[in-house]
Copies of this chain bind each other. A is one copy, B any other.
């Protein structure tokens, strides 16, 4: 048995060594689409959620999903669908991104975002911005209109302004709810809720993958702390030959484990399925380290996953086959999704 195993490994090595570490089907999946969105993973329990608040989240997720799906249905790009969904979530006070961003230790809103195009591996990101209404649009502008991937702070803000993006006063990001959280955490002198991010991944009818992520960070975080959301490879990754991934969770763990890229690496080099890769990274590797969070991902064949090791993750999906759903708590969806139309 030992000999057979050794032979298998040797054969595998010789196969992989021929400059072809990927044996996945690189052919594009044409004509079908998949869209998955998330509004953050964390301690989200039904017993702590008011029914009217739960309804607000479900309604907003359904509205965002529909807007993104409309783009894909008409043959629009995964990049446009991802951008649209994240922009809408940034404009809602419900999520910790854009308008609903939390306050840092200085009582400021400091935001990060990133986006990646699986077709050509182009990517853009901004970190530590205070005046850009939609950080995801700035990330996309960095990708499409600069030779760079990551711009931070004032450099990113000046670039966004030159690109004609909407610049707002920092006070635009003030919300009563987040300010109260800030005061509460400040009184305890402790870092607050570590989670809260929005993201989207999509496969379009042309077979192209895209992923994006946006966040307001952690309540009462140290000035200048940057998490995984604007880090290509950690919080966001997309590659047409494997998958598109957007993460949410305790950012430091996602950076150290290069989570978004790792999912595709496990598929391309390790021959795991998307689901196996996501389960291994989120439910095993990260959980053992104490890294709370989750991810959404779609692969180049249209398989998708919404995997998390917390009590909940705001999430929704829609596919060209008519499957769709909006979920908040763990174990809410069926493993085999029912073909149903959204209300």
Contact = CB atoms under 8 A, between A and B. Distances in A.
Interface in A290-308: none
A225 B149 CA distance: 8
A270 interface: yes
Contact of A223 (B19, B150, B158, B251): B158
A121 to B, nearest CB: 5
A265 B258 CA distance: 10
B255 A258 contact: no
Contacts of A92: none
A289 B120 CA distance: 10
B17 A276 contact: yes
Contacts of A233: 231, 233-234, 255, 258, 261
A233 B264 CA distance: 14
Contact of A9 (B154, B156, B271): B271
B152 A226 contact: yes
A261 B257 CA distance: 9
A159 B224 contact: yes
A284 B280 CA distance: 29
A222 interface: yes
A262 B23 CA distance: 16
B280 A224 contact: no
A21 B263 CA distance: 12
Interface string A314-341: 0000000000000000000000000000
Interface stretch (A41-49, A56-64, A122-130): A122-130
Contact of A256 (B123, B252, B256, B258): B123
A21 B256 contact: no
A21 B261 contact: no
A236 to B, nearest CB: 11
Nearest to A281: B21
A326 B282 CA distance: 43
A30 interface: no
Contacts of A16: 266, 270-272
B12 A271 contact: yes
List 6 tightest A-B contacts by C-beta distance, closest first. Answer: A155-B224, A269-B270, A155-B223, A269-B269, A233-B258, A265-B265
Interface of A: 8-9, 11-13, 16-17, 19, 21, 23, 121-123, 127-128, 146-156, 158-159, 191, 222-227, 231-234, 237, 251-252, 255-258, 261-262, 265-266, 268-272, 276, 280, 284, 289
25 contacts: A9-B23, A13-B272, A16-B270, A16-B271, A16-B272, A19-B280, A21-B266, A121-B256, A121-B289, A123-B256, A147-B252, A149-B255, A150-B226, A150-B227, A150-B231, A152-B152, A152-B153, A231-B231, A231-B233, A233-B233, A237-B258, A262-B265, A266-B269, A269-B269, A270-B270
